C-alpha cells in the first residue's frame, strides 16, 4: 500500500512530515493521518494481533472499532490506531503480543483453536487444586494494553453546554437536520467524532463528482450558518435522562443539555463472514473509502469486492478512480440494482459475478495478507455450492454486504426499535419525547433521501424545542435493500470470524445454541459476543442473524441486547474531572495551624486531633492537654457543632416533639442536654438546648449530624406546620469551649458579665460581650470542668480566640484537641453518639432512661420505645476499669467482651486516665454482666484476654463537684 496522489478534500497536510515509531521501527506520516493510515501509507500491513488466537490483523473499519489495531502509546493503553491522530514522536507498540507483533509467540494458540471452542474455559481447568495455577496462566494471557503505574494523575476540568437542538452526527442527514432546525431559529450544535464534518458524504462517493459538489455545498452552508455550531473530534458518548449528553474530545468532556436531540449517527458497515475474513487486506468497503478520501492511502493494489448493495459498487468505482484494480465484484444477490453506480461498474467493464460468494480468502505465503478470493456460486439465500471453484488473485477484499444502525444512543434513550424486513435493518419504532432520528440509523440510505429525512427531523426537533412548527417532509422509500439478510458463509474448516474483538467464529455460535444458550442475552454472555471494546459494533447484528436462523425465528423475535453507555470508551480522567473534594474549616483553622495542630477529619470538617509540642509524643501531647484542662484551663474549638435556633410561639412544642426530654419547662437562660431518636427509637443525635426567650431556643447538634438533623427538623416542621421557624447557624457562628478550674479567671478579664455562681450558674445560658464581641455563653460540662461554651459570629471567631489565648496565657492555658476531649469526657462517662452507640442503639441501652420522658404526649421514636421498653434488654453500656497498674497490651475500641467463651459485648471507648490512675473505658455488655463490680474479660486481637471490672461512672469527680459551684 502506498500514498495516493493528492485526493480532493483529503485530511492530510502533505506540506509537513512527522515521524513516529511503531514496534521499534521508524515511520513517517503527515499531520492529519491516523496511526493506521500512516502505517498503511508507509507499507506496513499487519497492525495488531487478535485477542484470543493472536492472529495477524489490520484495518477493518477505520471507524473507531478496529479493536485488533490497538496500540500502547507510552502510558496510554488501548489507543485506537484507526482513528487516533498521528502526532510527532509517537512511540507505539501493538497491545497484547508476546515478543512483538511480527513474531508473537502466542500465535501458537491459533493452532490449538480446535481445542478451544466457545466457552472452553468453562469446561476444564476447574480442579480445586489446580485452578489457581490455571488462573495464573490465564491472567498472563488475558487483557490488552498495559497500565503504567508512573502515569500522572490528570485532573481535567469539565465544560457545561446548552443548546436547543443537539445533532449527533454530521453526515448528510445530520447536516440537513441542523440547517432545518437552525432555519426555524433554534440554536443548534452538531457533534461528530471524526476530525472533520461530513460523515459518509465525504467518502461514500462512488467517484461521483456531482455528489461531491452537492455535499460540499451542504457542508459549507452548515458551517456558515450563524445558529449552527459544529464540534468535530467530539463523541456523544451516551444518552442520559432529560437530554443530558456527555460530549467527549481527546481532552475534555462537555456535558450538554439540549431541549431536543437528533440522532443522525449513521450505521456501522457489517462484515461478511467467510473463512479467513480477518486477514490483513480484508476490510469493510467504507474503510477503504475512508482510507482513500481522508488519508489518500491506497488500501490495496488489486481488489475483489464482495457486495450485496449499491454501496459496494460505489466502493468499486472509488477504487478504480484512484488507480486500484478491481478484479471482480462478487455479488451475493441474483439481481443487481439499476442505480448509477451499478450501471457505471458495468460500463467500466468490471467483472461482476452474481449469485456468488467468497467462501474463503487464500492467505498470502507469510500468512499475513491475502493472495486470492475463493469465489463460489450460491443458492439463494446463500448456501455455498461446493468449495473452491475459482480463485481470483487479489491482495485485498472489500466487504459491502450491509449495515447495522448506530442506534446505541437511541436505545439508551429508551427508543423501541423494530426490524424492518424491506431494509433488513432495525429502525426506530417509537421514539421518546424530544428524541429524533434521521438518516441511516433511521433506515434511510440513499443520499437524496437522507437530506429529506434530515430536514424532517430537524424541523420536528426545532418545533419540540419551541421553534417553528414541524414541516411534514415526504421521505421516499429505498429502491433496493441496502443490507443482505444473510452475509454469512459456512465453511467446514471455520476461521470465519463473526466477532473480531473476541475471535468468535461461526461455529462458536452454533455450539452455543446447541448447549442451550439460545436467546440473545444468554448467547452474548456465554460466547462473549459484543463484550469486547467495540461492544458489538461489527458483530452483534451477525450474531443475531445467526441465532435467528438457528432457532428459526425472525430477527424481530430474537431482539437485540441492551446498548449501554458508552458509545466509545471514555478515559477516567475526563469522567473524574478535577476531583472535587470539599472540606470545611472553622474560622479558627489558621490559628490551630500556627499552634501545631495535627488534623483529623470529622465528616467534612477538619479538626485538630491534638497540638504537637516539640519533642513530645502524640500520647504525651494529649495527656498534657488533658492535664491542662483538669488542673488549669484549656480551650477547644467546637465550631463544627451544629448550631440551630428555633423561634416562634410553638418553638418549645417543636423541641418537645423532636427530643426525648422535656423543654417546655426549661427556664429562661438555662440549657438542658438533648437526645434525639429516629422513628424506630434508635439514638441518632445529641446536643444542648438553651432557652433565650419564651419563644426562642438556641441548640446544638453533633458535628456529623448537623446538616441532616437540620434538614429533617425542617421537614418535620413543614409536616407539623407549627408556628415556629428553624434557622441553621452552623457556619455563621464560631464556638469555643473554655474549660478548667481557671476558666472563670480567664473569662473574667474579658467580659462585664457577672460570672459569679449565683448570677451565672451551672447550665445557664447568658448573652454578653466577650472581648467586645457579642456572644452567647453556656455553662456546660462535657469535659467535667468549670467551663463556658462561647458562641460568637463567625467573622469574629478569630478575634475571640486571640483575646482568650492572650488572656489565658498568664494562666497556663493550652488549646486542646479532639483526642483530649474524648478522654476528658470518658472520665466523666459521657457518651459520644456513633462511637458509644451504633445503628441499633436505643436510649435504654446506654443508660439514658433518665432523659427519656415517656409521659410526654409525643416525641419522635416514643411509640417505638414503648414497644422496646416491654422487651428484655439485650445489652447495656457500662463503665469498666483495667486492673490498677496493668502493664500489658491495652485493649482497643471494638475489642470483644468474652464471657464463658462467647461474645458478650464490645469496648466502645478506652483510654488511660491519669486523673483516675487507671485505664478506663466503656463497653456494651450482656445485661447479666452489667452490675458494678462484675469481672469481665476483654479479648485482644491476638486472642489473649484482659481482665476488667465493671465500674460506676463518672470515673472522675463522681459527684460532679468540679463543674458546679462549690456548695
Partner 1 sequence: MKIMICPVNGPRPVSEFFCWGEIRPMPDPDTCSDDEWADYVFNRNGAPGVKKEWWCHSASNTWFIVERDTEKDVVLRTYLYGEAA
Partner 2 sequence: MPWRLLRFALSKKHPEPRMFSDHPQLKSSYDVVIIGGGGHGLAAAYYLARDHGITNVAVLEKGYIGGGNTGRNTSIIRSNYLTPEGVKFYDESVHLWQDLSEEFDLNLFYANRGHFTLAHTDSAMRTMRWRAEVNKHLGIDSEVVGPDFVKRAAPMIDLSCGGHAPIMGALYHAPGSVARHDAVAWGYGRGADMRGAEIHQQTEVLGIDVQGGKVRGVQTSRGYIATNKVLCAVAGFTPRILDMVGIQSPIYIHPLQAMVSEPLKPWLDPILVSGSLHIYVSQSARGELVMGASLDPYEVQSTRSTLDFVEGLSSHMLDMFPFLSNVKVMRQWAGMADMTPDFAPIMGKTPVEGFYLDGGWGTWGFKATPVCGKTMAHTVATDTPHPLITGFSLDRFRNFSLTGEKGAASVGH
DSSP 200-258: GGGT--TT-HHHHHHHHHHHHHHHH-TTEEEE-S-EE---BTTTEEEEE-SS-EEEEEE
Give yes or no for residue 240 binding partner 2 (CB under 8 A). yes
Q: How far is the CB of 713 from partner 1 (least distance, A)?
A: 10
Q: Report 709-738 residues binding partner 1 (CB under 8 A).
A: 710-711, 714-715, 718-719, 721, 728
Is the separation of the CB atoms in 585 and 777 below 8 Å? no
Among 156, 216, 680, 834, binds partner 1 (CB under 8 A): 680
Q: How far is the CB of 732 from partner 1 (least distance, A)?
A: 14
Distance, in Å, from the CA atom of 144 to the CA atom of 851, rounded to the nearest integer, reads 63
Q: Residue 586 binds which one of partner 1, partner 2, none, with CB within 5 to 8 A depending on kind?
A: none
Q: Does 28 bind partner 1 (CB under 8 A)?
A: no
Question: Near partner 2 by CB under 8 A, which window of 34-42, 541-549, 776-784, 893-901?
Answer: 893-901
Could you say which of 393, 725, 772, 839 contacts partner 2 (CB under 8 A)? 839
3-class secondary structure, 345: helix
Residues 255-294 that bind partner 2 (CB under 8 A): 255
Q: Which residues, other chains included, contact 755 with Cβ-Cβ below 8 Å and sequence gap of 6+?
A: 744, 747, 748
Q: Minimum distance from CB of 845 to partner 1 (Å)?
A: 18
- Beta carbons within 10 angstroms of residue 774's beta carbon: 12
Residue 151 touches which of partner 2, partner 1, none (CB < 5 to 8 A by kind)?
partner 2
Which of partner 1, partner 2, none interacts with 740 (beta carbon under 5 to 8 A by kind)? Answer: none
Residue 414: CB minimum distance to partner 1, A:
9
Q: Binding to partner 2 by residue 894, rule CB under 8 A?
A: yes
Closest distance to partner 2 from the beta carbon of 138 (Å) = 6
Q: Which of residues 561-600 bind partner 1 (CB under 8 A)?
A: none
What are residue 222's phi and psi, to 5 degrees? -65, -45
Residue 132 touches which of partner 1, partner 2, none (CB < 5 to 8 A by kind)?
partner 2
Nearer to partner 2, 66 or 789 (CB): 66
Query: What backbone torsions phi and psi does residue 401 show, to the nearest 5 degrees?
Result: -120, 0
Q: Report which DSSP code applies to 619.
A: H
Q: Give 115's contacts (C-beta < 8 A, 6+ positions apart).
A: none
- Answer for which of 29, 32, 48, 145 binds partner 2 (CB under 8 A) is 145
> Other CB atoms closer than 10 Å to residue 941's CB: what's the count?
10
Residues 347-406 that bind partner 1 (CB under 8 A): none
Coil, strand or helix at 603:
coil
Question: In sequence order, what DSSP letters do the residues of 626-667 get, joined into one string?
Answer: HHHHHHS-EEEE-TTSEEEEEESTTHHHHHHHHSSS--TTPP
| 840 touches 684 (CB < 8 A) | no
Antiparallel, parallel or unpaired: β 370-379 and 390-393 = antiparallel
Q: How far apart are CA 782 and CA 361, in angstroms?
A: 85
Nearest to partner 1 of 161, 377 (CB atom): 161
Out of partner 1, partner 2, none, what residue 160 binds, judged by CB under 5 to 8 A for its kind, is: none
Q: Pick what 719 binds: partner 2, partner 1, none; C-beta below 5 to 8 Å, kind-dependent.
A: partner 1
| Rounded-to-integer distance, Cα 728 and Cα 710, Å | 7
The x, y and z cell numbers of residue 609, run together, are 486531633
The reply to whether 103 sits near partner 1 by the rule CB under 8 A is: no
The C-alpha cell that represents 424 in the structure block: 433488513
Measure Cα distances from 143 to 78, 113, 138, 487 in Å.
10, 19, 10, 30
Q: How far is CA 354 from the centre of its chain?
A: 50
Q: Among partner 1, partner 2, none, what does residue 516 contact (CB within 5–8 Å per kind)?
A: partner 2
Burial zone of 347 (CB within 10 Å; 0-12 exposed, 13-18 middle, 19+ buried)? exposed
Residue 783, classed as helix, strand or coil, is: coil
Which CB, 397 or 682, lies closer to partner 1?
682
* 858 is a contact residue toward partner 1 (CB under 8 A): yes
What is the rounded distance in angstroms from the CA atom of residue 274 to the CA atom of residue 505? 9
Q: Please, which residues have CB within 8 angstroms of residue 941's CB and are 6 or more apart in sequence?
A: 892, 895
Return d(Cα 600, Cα 471) in angstroms, integer.
64
> Which of partner 2, partner 1, none does 14 bind, CB closer than 5 to 8 A by kind?
none
By residue count, the chain amounts to 967
| Contact set for partner 1, span 238-277 (CB under 8 A) | 240-242, 244, 255
Q: How far is the CB of 359 from partner 2 (least distance, A)?
A: 20
Q: Verify cis geometry, omega within 30 degrees of 0, for the bond prior to 381.
A: yes
User: What DSSP line would sit under 539-568, residue for residue?
Assistant: THHHHHHHHHHHHT--HHHH------S-SS
3-state SS, residue 408: helix
Q: Which does 145 bind (CB under 5 to 8 A by kind): partner 2, partner 1, none?
A: partner 2
Q: Is 226 in the site for partner 1 (CB under 8 A)?
A: no
840 binds partner 2 (CB under 8 A): yes
Is 162 a binder of partner 2 (CB under 8 A)? no
Give, as ranges, the residues between 492 and 511 that touch partner 2 (CB under 8 A): 507, 510-511
C-alpha 275/C-alpha 290 separation (Å) is: 25
The H or E element spanning position 169 is: none
Our finding on whether 758 is near partner 2 (CB under 8 A) is no
660-689 positions binding partner 2, by CB under 8 A: 680-681
* 75 vs 383 by CB, closer to partner 2: 75
Using rule CB under 8 A, residue 857 touches partner 2: no
871 binds partner 1 (CB under 8 A): no
Nearer to partner 1, 431 or 768 (CB): 431
Candidate residues 159, 867, 932, 935; the one interacting with partner 2 per rule CB under 8 A: 867
679 lies in the site for partner 1, by CB under 8 A = yes
Size, binding site for partner 1 by CB under 8 A: 20
Q: Which residues contact 329 (CB under 8 A, 6 or more apart)?
A: 304, 305, 307, 312, 313, 316, 345, 350, 351, 352, 353
906 touches partner 2 by CB under 8 A? yes
Select from partner 1, partner 2, none the partner in contact with residue 872, using the beta carbon and a kind-dependent cut-off of 5 to 8 Å: none
Interface map 908-947 toward partner 2 (x if CB under 8 A)? -------------------------------x-x-x----
Instruction: List the interface residues with partner 1, window 882-911 (CB under 8 A).
Output: none
For partner 2, the binding residues in 48-77 under the rule CB under 8 A are: 51, 75-77
Least distance in angstroms from the C-beta of 257 to partner 2: 11
Interface pick for partner 2 out of 15, 89, 103, 127 (rule CB under 8 A): 127
CB 488 within 8 A of CB 272: yes
Give me the residues that bind partner 1 (CB under 8 A), please.
Answer: 240-242, 244, 255, 679-680, 710-711, 714-715, 718-719, 721, 728, 858, 862-864, 867
Amino acid at each position: 500500500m502506498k500514498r495516493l496522489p493528492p485526493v480532493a478534500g483529503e485530511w492530510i497536510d502533505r506540506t509537513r512530515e512527522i515521524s513516529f515509531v511503531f514496534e521499534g521501527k521508524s515511520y513517517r506520516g503527515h499531520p492529519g493521518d491516523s496511526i493506521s493510515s500512516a502505517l498503511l501509507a508507509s507499507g506496513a500491513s499487519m497492525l495488531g494481533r487478535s485477542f484470543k488466537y493472536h492472529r495477524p490483523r489490520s484495518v477493518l473499519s477505520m471507524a473507531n472499532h478496529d479493536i485488533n489495531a490497538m496500540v500502547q502509546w507510552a502510558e496510554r493503553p488501548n489507543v485506537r490506531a484507526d482513528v487516533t491522530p498521528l502526532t510527532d514522536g509517537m512511540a507505539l507498540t501493538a497491545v497484547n503480543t508476546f515478543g512483538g507483533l511480527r513474531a508473537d509467540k502466542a500465535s501458537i494458540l491459533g493452532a490449538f483453536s480446535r481445542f478451544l471452542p466457545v466457552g472452553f474455559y468453562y469446561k476444564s481447568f476447574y480442579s480445586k487444586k489446580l485452578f489457581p495455577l490455571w488462573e495464573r496462566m490465564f491472567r498472563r494471557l488475558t487483557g490488552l494494553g498495559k497500565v503504567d503505574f508512573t502515569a500522572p494523575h490528570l485532573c481535567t476540568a469539565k465544560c457545561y453546554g446548552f443548546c436547543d437542538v443537539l445533532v449527533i452526527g454530521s453526515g448528510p442527514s445530520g447536516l440537513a437536520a441542523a440547517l432545518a432546525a437552525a432555519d426555524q431559529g433554534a440554536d443548534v450544535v452538531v457533534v461528530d467524532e471524526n476530525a472533520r464534518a461530513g460523515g459518509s458524504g465525504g467518502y461514500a462517493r462512488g467517484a461521483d463528482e456531482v455528489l461531491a459538489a452537492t455535499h460540499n455545498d451542504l457542508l459549507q452552508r452548515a458551517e456558515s450558518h450563524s445558529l449552527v455550531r459544529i464540534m468535530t473530534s467530539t463523541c456523544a458518548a451516551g444518552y442520559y435522562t432529560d437530554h443530558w449528553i456527555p460530549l467527549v474530545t481527546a481532552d475534555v468532556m462537555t456535558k450538554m443539555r439540549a431541549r431536543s436531540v437528533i440522532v443522525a449517527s449513521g450505521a456501522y458497515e457489517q462484515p461478511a463472514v467467510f473463512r479467513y475474513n480477518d486477514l490483513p487486506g480484508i476490510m469493510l468497503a467504507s474503510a477503504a473509502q475512508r482510507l482513500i478520501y481522508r488519508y489518500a492511502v491506497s488500501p490495496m493494489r488489486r481488489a475483489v469486492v464482495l457486495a450485496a448493495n449499491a454501496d459496494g459498487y460505489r466502493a468499486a468505482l472509488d477504487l478504480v478512480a484512484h488507480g486500484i484494480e478491481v478484479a471482480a465484484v462478487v455479488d451475493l444477490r441474483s439481481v443487481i440494482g439499476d442505480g448509477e453506480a451499478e450501471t457505471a461498474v458495468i460500463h467500466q467493464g468490471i467483472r461482476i459475478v452474481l449469485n456468488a460468494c467468497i467462501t474463503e480468502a487464500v492467505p498470502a505465503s507469510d500468512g499475513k495478507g491475502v493472495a486470492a478470493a475463493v469465489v463460489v456460486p450460491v443458492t439463494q439465500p446463500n448456501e455455498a455450492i461446493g468449495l473452491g471453484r475459482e480463485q481470483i488473485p487479489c491482495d485485498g477484499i472489500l466487504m459491502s454486504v450491509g449495515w447495522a444502525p448506530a442506534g446505541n444512543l437511541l436505545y439508551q434513550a429508551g427508543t423501541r426499535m423494530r426490524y424492518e424486513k424491506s431494509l433488513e435493518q432495525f429502525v426506530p419504532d417509537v421514539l421518546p419525547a424530544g428524541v429524533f432520528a434521521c438518516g441511516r440509523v433511521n433506515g434511510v440510505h440513499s443520499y437524496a433521501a437522507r437530506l429529506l429525512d434530515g430536514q424532517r427531523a430537524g424541523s420536528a426537533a426545532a418545533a419540540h424545542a419551541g421553534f417553528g412548527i414541524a414541516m411534514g417532509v415526504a421521505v421516499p422509500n429505498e429502491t433496493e435493500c441496502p443490507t443482505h439478510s444473510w452475509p454469512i458463509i459456512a465453511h467446514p474448516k471455520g476461521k470465519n470470524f463473526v466477532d473480531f474483538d473476541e475471535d468468535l467464529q461461526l461455529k462458536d455460535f452454533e455450539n452455543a445454541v446447541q448447549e442451550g444458550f439460545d436467546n440473545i442475552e444468554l448467547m452474548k454472555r456465554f460466547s462473549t459476543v459484543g463484550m469486547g471494546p467495540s461492544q458489538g459494533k461489527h458483530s452483534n447484528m451477525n450474531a443475531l442473524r445467526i441465532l435467528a436462523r438457528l432457532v428459526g425465528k425472525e430477527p424481530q423475535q430474537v431482539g437485540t441486547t441492551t446498548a449501554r453507555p458508552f458509545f466509545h470508551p471514555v478515559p477516567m480522567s475526563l469522567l473524574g474531572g478535577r476531583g472535587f473534594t470539599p472540606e470545611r474549616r472553622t474560622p479558627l483553622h489558621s490559628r490551630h495551624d500556627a499552634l501545631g495542630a495535627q488534623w483529623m477529619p470529622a465528616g467534612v470538617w477538619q479538626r485538630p486531633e491534638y497540638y504537637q509540642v516539640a519533642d513530645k509524643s502524640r500520647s504525651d501531647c494529649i495527656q498534657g492537654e488533658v492535664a491542662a484542662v483538669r488542673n488549669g484551663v484549656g480551650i477547644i474549638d467546637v465550631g463544627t457543632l451544629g448550631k440551630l435556633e428555633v423561634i416562634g410561639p410553638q418553638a418549645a412544642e417543636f423541641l418537645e416533639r423532636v427530643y426525648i426530654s422535656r423543654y417546655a419547662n426549661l427556664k429562661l437562660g438555662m440549657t438542658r442536654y438533648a437526645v434525639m431518636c429516629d422513628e424506630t427509637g434508635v439514638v441518632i443525635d445529641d446536643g444542648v438546648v438553651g432557652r433565650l426567650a419564651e419563644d426562642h431556643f438556641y441548640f446544638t447538634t453533633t458535628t456529623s449530624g448537623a446538616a441532616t438533623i437540620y434538614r429533617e427538623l425542617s421537614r418535620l416542621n413543614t409536616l407539623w406546620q407549627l408556628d415556629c421557624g428553624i434557622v441553621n447557624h452552623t457556619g455563621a457562628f464560631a464556638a469555643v469551649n473554655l474549660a478548667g478550674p481557671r476558666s472563670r479567671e480567664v473569662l473574667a478579664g474579658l467580659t462585664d458579665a457577672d460570672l459569679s455562681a449565683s448570677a451565672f450558674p451551672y447550665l445557664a445560658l447568658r448573652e454578653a460581650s466577650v472581648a467586645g464581641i457579642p456572644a452567647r455563653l453556656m455553662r456546660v460540662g462535657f469535659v467535667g470542668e468549670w467551663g463556658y461554651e462561647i458562641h460568637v459570629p463567625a467573622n469574629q471567631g478569630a478575634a475571640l480566640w486571640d483575646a482568650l489565648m492572650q488572656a489565658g496565657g498568664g494562666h497556663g492555658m493550652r488549646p486542646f484537641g479532639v483526642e483530649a476531649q474524648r478522654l476528658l469526657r470518658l472520665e466523666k462517662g459521657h457518651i459520644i453518639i456513633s462511637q458509644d452507640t451504633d445503628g441499633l442503639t436505643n436510649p435504654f441501652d446506654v443508660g439514658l432512661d433518665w432523659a427519656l420522658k415517656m409521659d410526654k404526649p409525643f416525641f419522635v421514636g416514643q411509640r417505638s420505645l414503648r414497644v422496646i421498653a416491654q422487651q428484655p434488654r439485650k445489652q447495656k453500656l457500662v463503665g469498666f476499669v483495667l486492673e490498677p497498674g496493668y502493664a500489658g497490651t491495652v485493649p482497643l475500641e471494638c475489642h470483644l467482651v468474652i464471657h464463658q467463651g462467647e461474645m458478650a459485648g464490645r469496648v466502645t471507648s478506652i483510654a488511660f486516665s491519669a486523673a483516675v490512675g487507671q485505664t478506663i473505658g466503656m463497653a456494651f455488655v450482656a445485661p447479666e454482666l452489667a452490675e458494678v463490680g462484675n469481672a469481665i474479660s476483654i479479648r485482644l486481637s491476638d486472642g489473649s484476654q484482659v481482665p476488667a471490672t465493671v465500674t460506676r461512672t463518672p470515673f472522675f469527680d463522681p459527684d460532679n463537684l468540679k463543674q458546679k459551684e462549690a456548695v
